[in-house]
């Protein structure tokens, strides 16, 4: 993930950078809840933003979901190796797959939608008003996903019996 770019900071002078702890805690709780309820899997997290020389899982499939609120806008994403995706797919839908295709790739967006649904239910009553854009799914080989406005990016390494993946959130406060 690309997490610093001073030029971009300069070009967005009307913005400030911060992520409310409530937001990322709610995101992790939402992911935990979805994995527990929908996939019967316990998730563990570690914050990896800013940590160098980490061996991150290679990415074969990713999902992005735009976050739009009146005070903040951002992006939620998740990046998975194929093995984790296959395990999630099988646990979610009961079918075993061995190749990522357009026909099965949308399962990850459904998971992302569910995580967002729980996340929204947690944060919006606390003064936020996030709405989701349509989720996008990207698949290919050796993908690399980076968010614009890296400094407000938080990236978590998630581990469960289904495998490893990363979960990212970037936010930017909008000042009118």
State which H helix or E strand residue 159 sits in.
strand 153-160
Q: Does 88 bind other proteins (CB under 8 A)?
A: no
Element (H, E) at 62: strand 59-68
Q: Are strands 59-68 and 153-160 parallel, antiparallel or unpaired?
A: unpaired
To the nearest whole angstrom, how small is the minimum distance from the Cβ of residue 93 to other proteins? 15
> Is there a contact between 54 and 48 (Cβ–Cβ < 8 Å)?
yes
Two structure tokens written together for 51: 């940590």
- The CB-of-161 to other proteins minimum distance in angstroms stands at 26
Does residue 65 touch other proteins according to CB under 8 A? yes
Phi and psi based region of residue 127 (left: phi greater than 0; alpha: psi -120 to 50; beta: remaining): left
Q: Is 102 in the site for other proteins (CB under 8 A)?
A: yes
> Is residue 151 close enough to count as binding other proteins by CB under 8 A?
no
Q: Rule CB under 8 A: say whether 9 interacts with other proteins.
A: no
Give phi and psi for 54, each to the nearest 5: -85, 140
- Residue 145 sits in the site that holds other proteins (CB under 8 A): yes
**Structure-token match 């929204």, residue found:** 120
- Judged by CB under 8 A, does residue 122 bind other proteins? no
Binding-site residue total for other proteins (CB under 8 A)? 42
Under the binding rule (CB under 8 A), the answer on residue 120 touching other proteins is no
State yes or no: residue 126 binds other proteins (CB under 8 A).
no
What residues between 42 and 61 interact with other proteins by CB under 8 A?
Answer: 59
Beta-carbon count within 10 A of 138 CB: 16
Examine residue 78 and tell whether it contacts other proteins (CB under 8 A): no
Q: Are 19 and 3 a contacting pair, CB within 8 Å?
A: no
Binding interface with other proteins (CB under 8 A): 2, 5, 8, 59, 62, 64-68, 73-75, 77, 102, 105-106, 109-110, 113, 131-149, 170-172
């Amino acid at each position: 993930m690309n997490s610093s770019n001073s030029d971009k900071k300069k070009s967005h002078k009307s913005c400030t950078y911060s992520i409310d702890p409530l937001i990322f805690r709610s995101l992790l709780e939402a992911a935990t809840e979805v994995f527990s309820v929908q996939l019967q899997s316990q998730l563990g997290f570690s914050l990896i933003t800013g940590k160098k020389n980490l061996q991150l899982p290679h990415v074969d499939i990713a999902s992005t979901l735009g976050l739009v609120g009146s005070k903040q806008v951002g992006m939620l994403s998740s990046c998975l190796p194929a093995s984790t995706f296959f395990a999630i797919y099988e646990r979610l839908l009961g079918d075993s797959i061995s190749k990522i295709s357009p026909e099965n790739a949308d399962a990850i967006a459904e998971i992302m939608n569910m995580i967002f649904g729980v996340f929204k239910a947690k944060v919006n009553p606390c003064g936020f008003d996030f709405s989701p854009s349509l989720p996008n799914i990207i698949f290919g080989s050796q993908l690399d996903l980076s968010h614009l406005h890296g400094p407000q990016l938080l990236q978590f390494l998630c581990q469960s019996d289904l495998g490893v993946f990363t979960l990212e959130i970037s936010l930017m406060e909008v000042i009118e």
